[in-house]
Amino acid sequence: MFRFGIRRRFACLEKCGESLGNIRESSGIFHVNSKHVLPKSRSRCLIDSVTRSKRSEGRRSSSTTATQPRKTCLYDLHEENRGKIVNFSGWLLPVQYQEAIAASHQHTRTFASLFDVGHMMQTYVSGRDSTDFLESLTTGDLRNLNKGSAALTVFTNENGGILDDLIITKVDEDKYFVVSNAGRRDEDTRLLRRQQDNFKSQGKSVNLESLDPLEQSLVALQGPKAASVLQSIVKIDLKNLKFMNSVETEVLETEIRVSRCGYTGEDGFEISMPERIARNVVDMILNTPDTKLAGLGARDSLRLEAGLCLYGQDIDDVTTPVEAGLTWLVAKRRRAERNFPGSQRIVSQIKTGPGMKRIGLSIAHGPPAREGACILTPEGERVGKVTSGGPSPTLGRSIAMGYVPAELAQCGGGILVEVRGKTYKATVTKMPFVKTSYYTAK
């Protein structure tokens, strides 16, 4: 969420093989009592959004790490399939199964993979003033969103910083389905409840319904074979469901929500369904040819190739959408109205340009540049930091994202990255690194 794009930093394999032993660790991965849990020294692969950023570390919430980790509806499935479990944003989830992360990554690019994303926050927002409510917190144009359509947007603060990235689906004129990041669950809940109280104090109607992850599952089916796999178990014609659109349908005499979106750059779907049928639906999907379970490790390397942001690393509460290269998330009507948090700074940056910009980096030779690695000018001046990086199984070279002064952000420009005290040549590269395959029915 850009999950499409909500998370602790594991970084993918330096050598795309079975061993995780050489992967750099970041904070927040905890040892768990399970025979399939990765040892602490091996649980080092970047996956989903974290509540932390190197640029806003002092402000992070410890709420997701202070309690016992939780399980999703499909935890038993991961155990049965020998998933290597890690504590990720307070949830026990598989980083990989028995296949190497790189092999799982390539399977997703070629066939289809199923990811458990049941830790994500699912919320229904309804009521007469629900559109104004959500627009008061985000940069999107929800008023003009068609029924059944979804939009990626961001919560912003008064200084224009990104509080979270999320997908909002317009279920009806006065009802929305919101999926946001697990690592920001507490912060997002407080934000929504506080604004709900504010609206209600003015006599406005807004209702919030947060779905319990143990009662409502969410899975992502991703890859070029995803549509044919899902078509075999649903009655609706998926050819009519375009990218960033959502529909309710029935499976096993139960209503589910199918949204054509994902976090891999491939065609795919997110399926929200009640826990009572989740395991049966997943088994139906996995019983089709060419479909395998995939873990958080492959999910991360796929989103990196797609140039998608990871909350807490590539975007955070001191980074604006303009600096992050996400200006397109600020709808034209909203720019004109300037009635969202941080609008003054964001619109000013749109007009005059930001001081820093997110860039893509291609590194032909040398080790991967991980989060925190320094970015230098060709003359050796330190000017920025890598926010996400690792080997690209698809391209066969290392790639990364990071922030540099705007004047150094031109594609094709030469730059240096520093890894373990040595510098290596890199090229500023247009993103996505790997062409996306979203279904537009064209």
* Same domain assignment for residues 102 and 179: no
Binding-site residues: 270
Determine the 3-state secondary structure of 213 from DSSP. Answer: coil
Q: Are residues 206 and 226 in the same domain?
A: no
pTM: 0.87
Question: Residue 22 domain-assigned?
Answer: no
Q: How far apart are CA 155 and CA 200, in angstroms?
A: 20
Paired tokens of 424: 């290596």
Residue 106 shares a structural domain with residue 226 = yes
- Does 27 fall in a domain? no
Residue 278, amino acid:
A
Report the distance separating Cα 194 and Cα 202, nearest Å: 13
**395-420 b/e (C-beta count within 10 Å ≥ 16 → b):** eeebbbbbbbeeebbeeebebbbbbe
Same domain membership, residue 404 and residue 287: no
Are 290 and 219 in a shared domain? yes
Distances from the Cα of 242 to the Cα of 4, 145, 172, 267, 355, angstroms: 15, 14, 18, 10, 36
Does a structural domain hold residue 166? yes
Task: Assign residue 146 the CATH number of its domain.
Answer: 3.30.70.1400
Same domain assignment for residues 92 and 224: yes
DSSP tag of 47: -
Q: Do 137 and 190 fall within a single domain? A: yes
3-class DSSP assignment, residue 346: helix
Q: Collect all residues with Cβ–Cβ distance below 8 Å to 190 and sequence separation of at least 6.
A: none
Radius of gyration (Cα) for the chain, nearest Å? Answer: 21
88: Cα separation from own chain's centroid: 13
Is residue 55 within 8 A of residue 316, CB to CB? The reply is yes
pLDDT at position 78 is 98
Q: Does some domain include residue 337?
A: no
- One digit per residue, the tens of pLDDT, for the chain of length 442 reads 544 333 333 333 333 333 333 322 232 333 343 334 443 333 333 333 333 333 333 333 334 445 789 999 999 999 999 999 999 989 999 999 999 999 999 999 999 999 999 999 999 999 999 999 999 999 999 999 999 999 999 999 999 999 999 999 999 999 999 999 999 999 999 999 999 999 999 999 999 999 999 999 999 999 999 999 999 999 999 999 999 999 999 999 999 999 999 999 999 999 999 999 999 999 999 999 999 999 999 999 999 999 999 999 999 999 999 999 999 999 999 999 999 999 999 999 999 999 999 999 999 999 999 999 999 999 999 999 999 999 999 999 999 999 999 999 999 999 999 999 999 999 999 999 999 999 998 7
DSSP string, 224-245: TTHHHHHHTT-SS-GGG--TTB
Nearest-10 Cα torsion for 100, 101, 102, 105: 130
What pLDDT is attached to residue 1? 52
Distant-in-sequence, close-in-space partners of 111: CB < 8 Å, separation ≥ 6: 223, 224, 225, 290, 291, 292
- At 391, give phi and psi (nearest 5°): -70, 145
Clarify whether residues 268 and 385 are in a common domain. no
The verdict on residue 278 lying in a domain is yes
How big is the CA angle at 281 (ends 280 and 282), to the nearest 5 degrees?
Answer: 90
Annotated binding site for substrate: 270
Whether residues 284 and 415 share a domain: the answer is: no
Element (H or E) spanning 304, and its range?
A: helix 296-305
User: H helices within 46-184, ranges in order?
Assistant: 75-80, 101-110, 130-135
Cα first-last separation, the chain:
24
In a domain, 6, yes or no: no
CA distances from 428 to 186, 209, 419, 423 (A): 36, 43, 17, 15
Q: Which two tokens stand for residue 413?
A: 């420009």
Give residues with Cβ within 8 angstroms of 337, minimum separation 6. Answer: none
Sign of CA dihedral 221, 225, 230, 236: positive
Among residues 184, 211, 238, which one ends one of the domains?
A: 211
CA of residue 355 relative to chain centroid, distance: 25
Domain residues for the domain of 97 are 70-119+214-305
Torsion angle of C-alpha atoms 136, 139, 142, 145, degrees rounded to 10: 180
My answer on whether 152 and 126 are in the same domain is yes
Residue from 46, 95, 107, 84 nearest 308 by CA: 46
- Asked whether residue 158 falls in the same domain as residue 298, the answer is no
Helix (H) or strand (E) holding 115: strand 112-116
Q: What are phi and psi of 246, to 5 degrees?
A: -140, 150
> What CATH number corresponds to the domain at position 74?
3.30.1360.120
Specify the pLDDT at position 442.
78
DSSP state, 212? Answer: P
Residue 214's alpha-carbon distances to 97, 158, 167, 211, in angstroms, are 22, 34, 21, 9
Domain end, chosen from 158, 180, 211, is at 211
Q: Which residues contact 283 (CB under 8 A, 6 or more apart)?
A: none
Tokens at 86, concatenated: 């890690």
Total number of domains in the chain = 3
Q: Alpha-carbon distance 29 to 41, whole Å? A: 10
What amino acid occupies position 46?
A: L
Q: What is the dihedral of CA 227, 228, 229, 230, to 10 degrees?
A: 50
Do 221 and 291 fall into the same domain?
yes
Strand ordering across the sheet containing 70-71: 70-71, 91-96, 84-88
In a domain, 82, yes or no: yes
| 66, two tokens | 């202070």
